Amino acid sequence: MRRPRSIATGRCYHLMQRGHAGQAFCLDDQDRETYLRVFFEAAQGCGLWVHAWTCTDREAHWLVTPQRTRAIADVMQQLGRRYVAQFNRRWARSGTPFDGRYRSYWVDAQAFGLEVKRFLDGQAQRLGLAASALDWPWSSTGLWAGQRSPMGSPVQALPVYWALGNTPFERERAYRQRLSEPLAESMVAQIGRGLSTGRPLLTEAGWASCPPVFQEQWRLRPRGRPRLKATETPQ
């Protein structure tokens, strides 16, 4: 069961939006261009920094940091109104092409931001839509790997990306090298758990710094019914 969202300014979040019932909400390149343009325009106006993104046919992923508490919600609302209207008008459809509410979870950007960024930039390749991550133009891959011109606000590099080198060339080369390395299965599993449940992706120290009630809310428990103590009888 997904818990209510809790968005805080200055924190990094991984967002995912899917098509309704597994269907595509981008039917061609023009749709993808429109989807991305609407998102970036809304992010610019709502105070949402964008660090990484990818848009395929059936899903889109974003790595963002809100500068306002309602920045993410406002961007997604604008996207729902503006993109859906254009999509339905173009394809003579009605209703929403999106699968309910978007998914999100908090990411410790310093510890895991680069790994989640690699997950986003490599998604099209993993889905078999491109021979390599750099071949998919509807993602942030080319920007950070030095194959596209820098973009202005709201696109902002993560601090961990700046730490990859002292010059743009060094950073781009280092990121291309990181993209060629497979993500650890444990990291992919944690990202998947975050998307499915909303569980934050934090270090042990990060969890320890959170209030006890927050830690208890997200404590991982074994599947199935809890074991009975010796003095208990089943109900």
Query: Between 71-91 and 29-46, two packed helices, what is the crossing angle to 10 degrees?
Result: 150
pLDDT of residue 223: 61
CB 123 within 8 A of CB 36: no
pLDDT of residue 101: 87
pLDDT of residue 55: 97
> What confidence tens digit (pLDDT) does each residue in 122-171 have?
999 999 999 999 999 999 999 999 998 878 889 999 999 999 999 999 99
Distance CA 106, CA 86 (A): 31
* Least confident stretch, 66-75, 107-116, 196-205, 210-219: 210-219
For 114, residues 6+ apart whose C-beta sits below 8 A from its C-beta are: 158, 160, 161, 178
The predicted model gives 86-105 an average pLDDT of 94
The predicted model gives 165-182 an average pLDDT of 96
* Least confident stretch, 4-18, 99-113, 166-180: 4-18
Find the radius of gyration of the CA atoms of the chain: 19
CB 105 within 8 A of CB 119: no
Query: Between 109-121 and 168-179, two packed helices, what is the crossing angle to 10 degrees?
Result: 70
Separation of CA 3 from chain center:
17
pLDDT band at 3 (very low <50, low <70, confident <90, very high): low
**Mean pLDDT over the full length of the chain:** 92
pTM of the predicted model over 0.85: yes
pLDDT of residue 128: 95
Residues 12-207: name the CATH superfamily.
Transposase IS200-like (3.30.70.1290)
> What confidence tens digit (pLDDT) does each residue in 14-35 have?
999 999 999 999 999 999 999 9
Handedness of CA 96, 100, 101, 104 (dihedral sign): negative
Q: How many helices and strands in the chain, by DSSP H and E? A: 10, 4
List, in sequence order, every beta strand (DSSP E) within 110-227.
none
Structure tokens at 184: 């650890």
